[in-house]
Homo-oligomer: A and B are copies of this chain.
Amino acid sequence: MNDAALLRERIGRIFTLAPFVGDLGIEFIDAGPGWCETALAVAPRHLQHGGVAHAGVISTLADHTAGAAAQTQCGEGEMVVTAEFKINLLRPGTGDRFDCRAQVLKAGRALHVVEAEVFGRRGAERILVAKFNGTMAVVRV
């Protein structure tokens, strides 16, 4: 396997090894240096009382995708944990499916700052529903 395929495989494992991510139904789509893309098919159990996706579902999707993007910047024996994040819920979380893309804004030795966007999809339409900004701390394992 080439480097790109190895990175993709390493990042994909962050998704298969996290029980809550599997339980929720988050799918790993792709990753490269400094970025990661995921998706989630919205099911009735993901909803809030108003019939839109719960802020917690959208936050989990953004946080995990951002952590994976940060992980692409880590070396051997390093892993990241979320130190803090802020999320703005910009529009109601409607749609059949969410797409998420996370991008590292600044990689550091101790901290990676990552942004992520969550889009709601209904057929061909794609609307920005949330913007995430978080700090991932690098832990030596």
| Chain A contact residues, CB within 8 Å of chain B | 14, 17-21, 23-24, 44-50, 53-57, 59-61, 63-64, 79, 81-92, 105-106, 110-111, 113, 115, 128, 131, 133, 135, 137
Contacts and interface: CB of A to CB of B under 8 A. Distances in A.
B18 A54 contact: yes
A20 B44 CA distance: 8
Q: How many copies make up the complex?
A: 4
Looking at chain A's contact residues, the main secondary structure is mixed
B56 A64 contact: yes
A45 B26 CA distance: 13
A87 B88 contact: no
25 contacts: A14-B49, A20-B46, A20-B47, A20-B53, A20-B56, A24-B56, A55-B82, A56-B60, A56-B61, A57-B60, A59-B59, A59-B63, A81-B89, A81-B92, A83-B135, A84-B87, A85-B86, A88-B113, A88-B133, A88-B135, A91-B106, A105-B128, A110-B137, A111-B111, A133-B133
